[in-house]
Amino acid sequence: MEVIMKHFGLLGEHLSHSISPQIHQYIYQKLNINADYSLIEFPREDLESIIKSLYRSSMSGPISSPISGVNVTIPYKKDVIPLLDNIDDLARSIGSINTIKIDQGKLSGYNTDYYGIQASLEDYLPLKSSTFLILGYGGACLPLIAYLLNEGAEKIYIASRNPQKGIDDLESIMGPENTRPAIEFVGYDQLDKIKGKIVFNTTPLGMFPNLDQSALSKEIFKNFDIAVDLIYNPCETKFLRDARRSGLKCQNGLKMLVYQAIRAVEIWNNIQIDKDTASDIYRHFNKTNIMENTYFMENTYFRQFIAFPENLQPIYLVGMPASGKTSLGRLLADLLGLGFVDLDRYIEDMTGKRLEDIFKKEGESAFRDYEEEALLATCKLENTIISTGGGCITREKNREILNNSDMVFYIVRDCQTIIDKSSLEDRPLIKSNSSRIFDLYNNRKSYYEEVADYPIYNRSSLETALFDMVDIILDRYSDNKNTKREGENINEK
C-alpha cells in the first residue's frame, strides 16, 4: 500500500534565513512521517488569495500541491485570523495565529508559539508573583504575554517606541480587564528603574547581520536574574552576551522555535510526541545551531585575537557525570581548531573494552587504574582539549597532573538537573540508582575545587557555558600571557 506524501509549509514575507524546513524534515525523519516542508514567500497583498488556495485540492502558483498544514510567520500572524474557519480558544485569546491545519476543507488556526515559550521557560519556574520586562511589542510578544499572565505574573512591563499604540492594540485583543493593572507599557527612557526576574528581547536588534546592536543598555542587566532573547541566529546576540557577562542566566530563541514546530507537527498529524523524543530533537538543533554560528565567529572574531603558545598544554574539563564536559569540550575544540580527547573513549580504545564491561567484570578500582594510565599518556599531548571522567579527580596522581596544568575548567551543574535532564544509561556508577549522584558529588566536590582554575556554570544553556570558556581563553591568551590567573571562588553560586 502506497503511503501518501503529506505537504506542509511556512507562509511569510521574507523567509530566506528560515531554518524551519530543516527542523521539520528532521522531525519527520525521526518520527517516520512521509512529509516535506517548503517555504511559501509572498507579499502582503497576496495573503487572501494564498489562504483561499489552501482550500483547493489542486493548487497553483506558490503552492503547487495539496497541503495538510502551514505555519504562519511575520507579518501575517494577525492578518490571517479573519480568513480562517475555526480558531482555537488559546489562539483567539492570544490574538495571533502561527499554525493552520487543513482538514476536510476547513482551515483551523492555532498558536504553537505559546508552547515554545512554555518549553523555553520551564527551567525558570515558578514565575508567579514575579516582575518581567519585555523589549518590543511585535508578533512574538502576544503569546509571551499570555503565558506570563497564565503563570501568575504580578507585573509585565513592555518597552515600546509607541506605548499608547501598544496599549490600544493589546486591550482590543485581550480586553482592559485582562491587561490592567498587570501590564504597563513604558518608553525606553524609563527602563533603568525597572527590576524583575526576566528581561525578554522580542525586537530584531542583534539578529544577523546586525550583530552589534542590542535593545538594552549594559548597566540595566543588573536589575534582572535571567535574560531571554527570541532571536536564534546568532546563538548569542549582543543582548545575551552583555547579560551573560553581567552574571545572568541566558536563553536564546532556538528552544522556542523547535518546540513550537514540534507542537505544530502534533496538531497536523493528530499525534503526541513524548518528552524524551522532543528533548532529543531540541538537543540536535542546539548543537547544530551553536556550531553554525560559531563557525562564522571562528573566522571573523575569535581566531584573530587568540595567540596560543606553539606548544599549548592540554586544556582540561572536569566535573560530575553528565555535567556537559564532553559536549562542551568537543564544541570548544572545534571552535578553536584544537584536538579533542574524551578520556572515557580513550580508555575504551586503549583497553579494547567497553566501560560498562570494565566496571562489571573488573570493578571500579581497575577502571581507575586504566584512567590513571590514560591521563598520564594524554597529558603529554599539545593543542588539545581533554574531557575527563567524573571520578578522575579521586586519584591523587591525577590531581597532581591537573594541578600542574595551565587551564582546568570545572563544569558545574546541579545534581537534580542532571537527573531530570540527562540520560544516565552509560553512567555505570549511577544508572541503577540516580540518587547516588548526590553522594558522589559530596565526596568529590572538594577535589573538583582543588584542581579547578575556572568554574563554568552549565545551568541555563550549552552556548552560555561555551562562551564563558571562550571569554576566559580570550582573556588568558589574547596577549599570550604565560602566568596562570588565580581561580575564582568556585563554591556553588
What are the start-end ranges of the H helices in 249-379?
254-269, 275-297, 303-305, 325-336, 343-351, 355-361, 364-378
Asked whether residue 369 is marked as a ligand-binding residue, the answer is: no
Residue 485 grid cell? 590567573
Q: Is 155 flagged in the annotation as binding?
A: no
Q: Is 98 annotated as a binding residue?
A: yes
Distance CA 372, CA 366 (A): 10
* Count of Cβ atoms closer than 10 Å to residue 124 Cβ: 16
Looking at this protein, which amino acid is placed at residue 290?
I
Eight-class DSSP state of 392: G
Kind of pairing between the strands at 384-387 and 339-342? parallel
Q: How far apart are CA 93 and CA 169, in angstroms?
A: 13
230 is in an annotated binding site: yes
Q: Which of 67, 189, 206, 181 is nearest to 131 (CA)?
A: 181
Residue 136 is labelled as binding a ligand: yes
Question: Is 12 among the annotated ligand-binding positions?
Answer: no
83 annotated binding-site participant: no
The verdict on whether residue 344 carries a ligand-binding annotation is yes
Categorise residue 56: left if φ over 0, alpha if ψ from -120 to 50, beta otherwise.
beta
Q: Is 172 annotated as a binding residue?
A: no
Which residues is 107 bridged to in the sheet? 102
User: Any known ligand binding at 18?
Assistant: yes
130 annotated as belonging to a binding site for a ligand: no
Which has the closest alpha carbon to 69: 38, 42, 92? Answer: 38
Catalytic one of 30, 77, 249, 484: 77
Contact 462, 286 (CB under 8 A): yes
For 224-255, b/e burial (b = at least 16 CB within 10 A) is bebbbbbbbbbbbbbbbbbbbebebbbbbbbb
Query: Is residue 427 a known part of a binding site?
Result: yes
Cβ(243)–Cβ(250) under 8 Å? yes
Cell 551543574 belongs to residue: 413
**Is 192 marked as binding a ligand?**
no
Q: Is 327 annotated as a binding residue?
A: yes
Residue 22 counted as an annotated binding residue: no
- Do residues 139 and 94 lie in contact, with contact meaning Cβ atoms separated by under 8 Å? no
Coil, strand or helix at 410: strand
105 annotated ligand binder: no
User: Is 140 among the annotated ligand-binding positions?
Assistant: yes
For residue 383, which of 484, 283, 336, 313 has the smallest C-alpha distance? 313
Consult the annotation and say whether 85 binds a ligand: no
Determine if residue 253 is labeled as part of a ligand binding site: yes
Residue 197 bears catalytic tag: no
Rounded distance between C-alpha atoms, residue 314 and residue 28, angstroms: 41
Is 413 flagged in the annotation as binding?
A: no
Residues 6+ away with beta carbon under 8 Å from 42: 11, 13, 50, 62
Residue 389 among known ligand-binding residues: no
Q: Is 445 exposed, middle or buried (0-12, 13-18, 19+ CB in 10 A)?
A: middle
The annotation status of 326 as a binding-site residue, yes or no, is: yes
Residue 403 and residue 380: Cα distance in Å, rounded? 14
| DSSP string for 137-162 | -STTHHHHHHHHHHTT-SEEEEE-SS
The answer to whether 390 is annotated as binding is yes
Binding site, annotated residues for NADP(+):
89, 136-140, 230, 253
Binding site, annotated residues for shikimate:
18-20, 73, 98, 113, 232, 260
| Residues recognised as catalytic | 77
Binding site, annotated residues:
18-20, 73, 89, 98, 113, 136-140, 230, 232, 253, 260, 322-327, 344, 368, 390, 427, 444
Binding site, annotated residues for substrate:
344, 368, 390, 444
Binding site, annotated residues for ATP:
322-327, 427
Binding site, annotated residues for Mg(2+):
326
